[in-house]
């Protein structure tokens, strides 16, 4: 199934030759063979199938071929061959990949319902429900019924069917590969249109399903159609370097010797690159050396031998450490497992090496096709069920579940088609963790916005921020594989006695209740969120909310400069009203509390004399204390007196949302504190800093006041002011 087999380049894959379509056409026209043997036209399929499944029952394939041949008899492809050659070729592609009998049966019949008088009921009655489902899944919708929406709606139908049985997409990919092989008979403009859809949709799907054998050949065929000049240059480059494999072959011999001496049974192969891979390497490295035209593939018996081979190579050759990747310990999202490394030979030539087991290689080439029937009863000794009691299905990865979820929200075919291409353009997947230990599968490049919508759906409209690995982060923060993400949602009711729910409204704090997010109708996403959303689910939800709320969220505009401190009418106390709580060991000195750290009882304090015979009192840990001591200033002993009244400056850091200032001032008033002044800084990355100078009747009330302020939705931290003073006095 290599791409190079279709090009005038040296053969790049061992195995049986491709079937002769003209000979198959003649055989197909002669009709089915004798009852006691398979027709010649399908013998190639039977041979390939038996190579992977020696005990397979071929009778059902015989019956499927007879029905397909008789139904398509008289139909011809644009190339002139009888139409039956197409389903035969598609079936052979899947048979060589190791597909099981049900998939091959359906692939023989995949065009019968679409192009002949055969009905789904007939297929169901003759071959069973599974085959009927697969055939229905790949059957196109009629343009007569859907018009211009037929293509996107057909893909939607196939994807939904793939969500229930991944073999639907396996048949579609093989179908498209054979069509691309024979696309030369089409008009150039139609070739380009089909190639673009293949590039944007089917190649990414082949990558996500791990079917590299189909993906690489599709890439080369698309490359030849959409970029003919670059393709011809690459083809000529490969032809001019026909002996380039000798350099790799020499290194392969050295590797075999090393592994033989280490007594590690291994098969070492030279694996030429396909044309698109050569083109990419040339763009990356410029002039190519002989070893750049391929890679070494080392196949071993088990996982432990993979690491044994790696150790021997890194011991006996010079490793290129930057090229090492371990996809065995951390498989790719498409089931791919392998060790990647690169070693330098004594002459300086660098060879890339892939190390995997035979089973890993089978999965790397055939992906989900190699898994067989994922819905068959599990074999003895295997784990049949997941944690929820259902059978674990490795063919239902995170990207497919996400796709099936968001497509339900896009009834418009154009929006679905655009979103599908954008989703498939993401070329990787990451796994992030929720604070409760659950996981979220997201595309590479996803942000906190995507995580919020993946976890909470439309409730994420009230998201005000997030914590990533325990640290506060803006909503546009790009997530990495393995990050722990906690979206922070605003809510109306913030009573401390709430029942636990699936998410916390604020950051995790010792003893804090976990709250269930409640939608706030006055809050919602801003258009800026669309800049950060990478998943279609997030973009569709945000776009829908913005369309339903054209007026947006009414958030007061921030002043260009921090407003001047405002003294509240209910707090006419003088600036240093709390200073009488401190007694200084300096007769006749007037005491005042430093504004930089606003000490309150029972803080450990120290004082420094300033001009005018006064003493300024600081908390012992205040940065100003260290500066003055370093400057040689001599401290004065101070202690708290009997007065309980005090003044303190608190800094509340929060995510911006409507009514935040009102909620904070209400919480302060409810706690019995008087606001002397309040300053609100302009928002930065949706974060707002509030600074309050407060008068308390008793310093013992301070911890409760700070807890009340932290309980205000959107507030993620409240702390005592501790900033360098503008002056020392």
Q: Residue 417 has which token pair?
A: 């088609």
Helix (H) or strand (E) holding 513: none
Query: CA–CA distance from 71 to each of 131, 535, 612 (Å)?
Result: 17, 43, 108
Q: How far apart are CA 536 and CA 407, in angstroms?
A: 9
List, as one string, the DSSP characters of 672-698.
TPEEEEEEEPPPBTTEEEEEEEEEES-
Q: How far apart are CA 78 and CA 235, in angstroms?
A: 27
Q: Of the residues 4, 36, 40, 114, which is catalytic?
A: 114
3-class DSSP string for 3-25: HHHHCCCCCCCCCCCCCCHHHHH
Helix (H) or strand (E) holding 484: none
292 is catalytic: no
Query: Residue 381 class from Cβ within 10 Å (0-12 exposed, 13-18 middle, 19+ buried)?
Result: exposed
3-class DSSP string for 158-201: HHHHHHHCCHHHHHHHHHHHHHHHCHHHCCHHHHHHHHHHHHHH
CA dihedral sign of residues 171, 177, 181, 183: positive
Q: Of the residues 115, 126, 200, 230, which is catalytic?
A: 115
Q: How far apart are CA 490 and CA 10, in angstroms?
A: 63
Query: Residue 611 class from Cβ within 10 Å (0-12 exposed, 13-18 middle, 19+ buried)?
Result: exposed
Q: Residue 675 has which token pair?
A: 């606001």
Task: Give the strand pairing for 267-272 and 339-344.
Answer: unpaired
Helix (H) or strand (E) holding 202: none
CA 279 to chain centre: 27
287 is catalytic: no
Tokens 């293949």, located at residue: 198
Among residues 424, 446, 298, the alpha carbon closest in space to that of 361 is found at 298
Q: Residue 692 has which token pair?
A: 């309050």
The residues annotated as belonging to the active site are 114-115
């Amino acid at each position: 199934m290599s791409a190079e087999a279709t090009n005038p380049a040296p053969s790049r894959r061992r195995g049986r030759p491709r079937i002769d379509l003209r000979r198959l056409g003649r055989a197909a026209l002669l009709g089915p063979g004798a009852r006691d043997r398979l027709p010649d036209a399908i013998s190639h399929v039977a041979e390939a199938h038996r190579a992977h499944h020696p005990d397979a029952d071929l009778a059902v394939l015989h019956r499927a071929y007879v029905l397909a041949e008789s139904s398509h008899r008289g139909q011809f492809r644009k190339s002139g061959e009888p139409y039956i050659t197409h389903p035969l070729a598609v079936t052979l592609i899947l048979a060589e990949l190791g597909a099981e009998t049900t998939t091959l049966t359906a692939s023989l019949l995949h065009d019968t319902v679409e192009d002949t008088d055969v009905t789904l009921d007939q297929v169901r009655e003759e071959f069973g429900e599974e085959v009927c489902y697969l055939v229905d899944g790949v059957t196109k919708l009629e343009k007569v019924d859907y018009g211009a929406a037929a293509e996107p709606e057909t893909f939607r139908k196939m994807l939904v069917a793939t969500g229930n049985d991944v073999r639907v997409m396996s048949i579609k990919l093989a179908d498209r590969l054979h069509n691309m092989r024979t696309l030369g008979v089409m008009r150039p403009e139609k070739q380009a249109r089909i190639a673009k859809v293949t590039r944007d949709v089917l190649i990414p799907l082949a990558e996500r399903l791990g079917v590299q054998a189909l993906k690489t050949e599709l890439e080369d065929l698309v490359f030849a159609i959409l970029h003919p000049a670059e393709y011809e240059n690459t083809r000529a480059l490969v032809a001019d370097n026909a002996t380039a494999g000798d350099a790799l072959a020499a290194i392969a011999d050295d590797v075999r010797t090393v592994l033989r001496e280490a007594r590690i049974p291994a098969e070492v192969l030279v694996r030429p690159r396909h044309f698109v891979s050569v083109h990419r390497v040339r763009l990356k490295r410029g002039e190519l050396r002989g070893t750049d035209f391929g890679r070494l593939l080392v196949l071993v018996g088990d996982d432990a031998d993979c690491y044994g081979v790696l150790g021997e190579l890194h011991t006996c050759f010079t490793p290129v450490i930057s090229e090492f990747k371990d996809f065995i310990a951390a498989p790719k999202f498409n089931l791919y497992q392998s060790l990647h490394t690169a070693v330098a030979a004594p002459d300086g030539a660098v060879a890339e090496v892939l190390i995997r087991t035979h089973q890993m290689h089978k999965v790397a080439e055939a992906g989900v096709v190699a898994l067989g029937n994922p819905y068959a009863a599990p074999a003895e000794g295997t784990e049949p069920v997941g944690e929820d009691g259902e059978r674990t299905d490795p063919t239902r990865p995170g990207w497919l579940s996400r796709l099936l979820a968001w497509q339900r929200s896009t009834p418009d075919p154009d929006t679905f088609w655009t979103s599908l291409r954008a989703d498939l353009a993401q070329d990787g997947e990451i796994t992030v963790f929720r604070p409760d230990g659950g996981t979220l599968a997201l595309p590479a490049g996803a942000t906190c916005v995507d995580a919020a919508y993946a976890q909470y759906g439309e409730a994420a409209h009230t998201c005000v921020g997030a914590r990533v690995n325990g640290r506060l982060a803006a909503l546009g923060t790009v997530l990495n594989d393995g990050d722990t993400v906690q979206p922070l949602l605003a809510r109306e009711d913030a009573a401390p006695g709430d029942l636990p729910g699936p998410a916390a409204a604020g950051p995790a704090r010792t003893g804090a209740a976990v709250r269930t997010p409640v939608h706030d109708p006055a809050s919602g996403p801003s258009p800026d969120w669309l800049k950060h959303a990478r998943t279609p689910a997030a973009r569709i939800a945000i776009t829908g909310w913005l369309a339903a709320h054209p007026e947006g969220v009414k958030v007061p505009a921030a002043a260009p400069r921090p407003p001047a401190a405002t003294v509240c009418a209910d707090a006419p106390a003088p600036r240093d009203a709390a200073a009488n709580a401190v007694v200084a060991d300096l007769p006749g000195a007037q005491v005042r509390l430093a504004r930089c750290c606003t000490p309150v009882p029972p803080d450990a304090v120290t004082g420094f004399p300033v001009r005018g015979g006064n003493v300024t009192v600081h908390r012992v840990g205040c940065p100003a204390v260290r500066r003055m001591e370093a400057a040689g200033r001599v401290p004065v002993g101070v202690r708290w007196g009997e007065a309980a009244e005090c003044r303190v400056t608190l800094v509340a850091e929060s995510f911006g949302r409507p009514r935040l200032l009102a909620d904070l001032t209400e919480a302060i008033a409810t706690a019995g504190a008087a606001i002397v002044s309040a300053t609100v800084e302009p928002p930065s990355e949706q974060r707002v800093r509030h600074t309050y100078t407060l008068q308390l009747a008793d310093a013992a009330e301070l911890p409760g006041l700070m807890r009340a302020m932290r309980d205000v939705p959107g507030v993620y931290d409240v702390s005592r002011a501790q900033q360098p003073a503008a002056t020392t006095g």
